Amino acid sequence: MKIIFICKHNVFRSRVAEAVFKKHYKGKKWKVKSRGTFPLNNGLKNTINAVKEIGYNIKGNPKGMTYEDIITSDLIVIVADDVPKKLFDKYKKQMGKLIVWKIPDTKQSDTGSIQKISRDIEKRVKGLVKTLK
């Protein structure tokens, strides 16, 4: 099963979801990745450091979502309140299941907020996996 987590910039929310999934469910039957609708590098270093403090590693640069990503994923999870679900309407016949988690973004300089939102994402990812078994 292929899963893709999507947020706006692929700096924070989708990357945390990917990191949580990979850390806790390594070696399972799922392939997971994250992408952004408009990838940016702004705040990446602060995000990496804040998330590392709570036990997760984010590696590499933000990546943009492609048509191929959408049509080859069995499950698409929007991990953002600023990525509209309707963006995916034109792919309905070609894509897998779509889930929306309306998770807010935060200032990348706010370590406490990054960590709080990361914990929320962690709970949601763990809950998601229980439904996939």
**What confidence tens digit (pLDDT) does each residue in 66-81 have?**
999 999 999 999 999 9
Q: Domain-by-domain residue ranges, the chain?
A: 2-123
Which sign, positive or negative, has the C-alpha torsion 91, 7, 19, 128? negative
Structure tokens at 96: 């897998």
Query: From residue 85, how far is each of 78, 91, 127 by CA, in Å?
Result: 8, 11, 21
Average of per-residue pLDDT values in the chain: 92
Mean pLDDT, range 75-94, rounded to an integer: 93
pTM of the shown model: 0.94
Going by C-beta distance under 8 Å and a sequence separation of 6 or more, which residues neighbour residue 110?
A: none
- Please report the pLDDT score of residue 133 as a whole number: 66
Multiple choice CATH, 2-123, 3.40.50.2300, 3.40.50.720, 3.40.50.300, 1.10.443.10: 3.40.50.2300
Residue where the block lists tokens 């679900």: 85
Cβ neighbours for 8, distance < 8 A, ≥ 6 positions apart: 36, 37, 38, 80, 82, 83, 105
Q: List the beta strands (DSSP E) in 1-133.
A: 2-7, 31-36, 75-79, 97-101
Task: Give, in degrees to the nearest 5, the angle at Cα 12 between 10 and 17.
Answer: 90
- Nearest residue to 51 (alpha-carbon basis) of 25, 6, 103, 15: 15
What average pLDDT does the segment 12-22 reach? 96
